């Protein structure tokens, strides 16, 4: 991008520079923003303004770019996404730069994205909003679940109220997408969230035993303001994962009143059956019930009905 000096130099290069200078001066003088500034500061003389012609030319050139804005990514201004502002100081005219509306919006979106951590979650889920979720005729139960999820996202207070959500239903009905919309709604309230695809996370925790990083990863998940465990029940369950990973996470979050959101194809009883299964054979019903006592009382169950949207 051109500096103020190089912009002026380019204007003056070649023959007939006096004519160019006069044309530039008239263009600057006639610029409505410059006229407005001069009207607001009658104490500044024309000669003083002429001494600052380079700054004024740069000011008008940058604003002409903004008036014909090509979008933030294609912004031709010296400082991409920034607009110049004139002020009068003791030393003379001063140019300062402030982010434009598009730049501020992009920075705010980036800040909100940084409030959402994810593990093996598709990009479309991380970008989901409640505006993307339509209410369907004849799906009252689903519509009620979406309304309750929005209410949760707008009212939950981590550390004060630890009650979360349990979103369950068949395949492809939008449970994960709804969880992503909750994450983005929370980000608007400056509440951070972590959304994890459970099967991949549990596999990594098993691999972390050899690396000696189990506790570090466990602590990060345990302390998330709002934790979203996506597709609980789709993993291959083992006693160690159930008791030493899932159980520890849920116990800590229950004590600290940190909300957890679950998505699952299972209802509560089906999940208990899944947790009771031992890959070594037989069942461990009491241990499964212990985990369920950390889930069932701590969540509002929301059943999502409807068609498989992956097939439409």
Tens of pLDDT, residues 110-133? 777 777 888 888 889 999 999 999
Compute the average pLDDT of residues 271-277. 92
Name the least confident of 46-55, 63-72, 125-134, 169-178: 46-55
Per-residue confidence band for 21, with pLDDT thresholds at 50, 70 and 90 = confident
Give residue 36's pLDDT.
Answer: 92
Per-residue confidence band for 105, with pLDDT thresholds at 50, 70 and 90 = confident
pLDDT at 248 over 60: yes
Q: Which domains does the chain show, CATH number per domain? A: 4-103 (no CATH), 115-311 (3.40.50.300)
pLDDT at 13 over 60: no
* pLDDT tens per residue across span 138-182: 788 889 999 999 999 999 999 999 999 999 999 888 999 999 999
Q: What is the pTM of this model?
A: 0.71
Give residue 281's pLDDT.
Answer: 64
Compute the average pLDDT of residues 185-211. 91
Average pLDDT of the chain? 88
What is the 3-class SS of the chain, one letter each residue?
CCCHHHHHHHHHCCCCHHHHHHHHHHHHHHCHHHHHHHHHCCCCCHHHHHHCHHHHHHHHHHHHHHHCCCCHHHCCCCCCCEEEEEEEECCEEEEEEEECHHHHHHHHHHHHHCCEEEECCCHHHHCCCHHHCCCCCCCHHHHHHHHHHHHHHHHCCCCCCCCEEEEECCCCCCHHHHHHHHHHHHHHCCCCEEEEEHHHHHHHHHHHHHHCCHHHHHHHHHCCCEEEEECCCCCCCCHHHHHHHHHHHHHHHHHHCCCEEEEECCCHHHHHHHHHECCCCCECHHHHHHHHCCCHHHEEEEECCCCCHHHC
């Amino acid at each position: 991008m051109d500096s103020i000096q190089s912009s002026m130099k380019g204007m003056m290069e070649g023959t007939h520079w006096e004519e160019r200078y006069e044309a530039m001066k008239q263009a600057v003088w006639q610029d409505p923003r410059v006229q407005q500034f001069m009207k607001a500061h009658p104490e500044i003389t024309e000669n003083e303004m002429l001494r600052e012609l380079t700054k004024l030319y740069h000011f008008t050139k940058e604003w002409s770019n903004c008036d014909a804005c090509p979008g933030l990514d294609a912004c031709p201004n010296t400082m991409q996404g920034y607009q110049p502002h004139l002020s009068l100081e003791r030393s003379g005219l001063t140019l300062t730069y402030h982010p434009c509306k598009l730049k501020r919006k992009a920075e705010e979106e980036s800040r909100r994205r940084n409030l959402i951590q994810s593990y093996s979650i598709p990009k479309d889920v991380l970008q989901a909003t409640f505006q993307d979720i339509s209410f369907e005729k004849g799906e009252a139960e689903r519509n009620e679940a979406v309304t309750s999820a929005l209410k949760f996202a707008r009212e939950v207070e981590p550390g004060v109220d630890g009650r979360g959500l349990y979103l369950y239903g068949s395949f492809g009905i939008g449970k994960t997408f709804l969880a992503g919309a909750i994450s983005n709604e929370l980000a608007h309230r400056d509440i951070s969230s972590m959304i994890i695809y459970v099967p991949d996370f549990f596999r990594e925790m098993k691999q972390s035993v050899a690396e000696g990083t189990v506790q570090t990863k466990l602590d990060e998940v345990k302390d998330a303001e709002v934790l979203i465990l996506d597709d609980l029940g789709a993993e291959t369950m083992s006693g160690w994962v159930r008791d030493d990973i899932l159980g520890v996470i849920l116990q800590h979050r229950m004590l600290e009143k940190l909300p957890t959101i679950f998505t699952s194809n299972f209802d509560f009883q089906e999940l208990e059956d899944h947790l009771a299964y031992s890959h070594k054979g037989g069942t461990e019903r009491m241990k499964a019930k212990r985990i369920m006592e950390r889930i069932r009382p701590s969540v509002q169950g929301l059943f999502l009905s409807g068609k498989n949207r992956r097939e439409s």
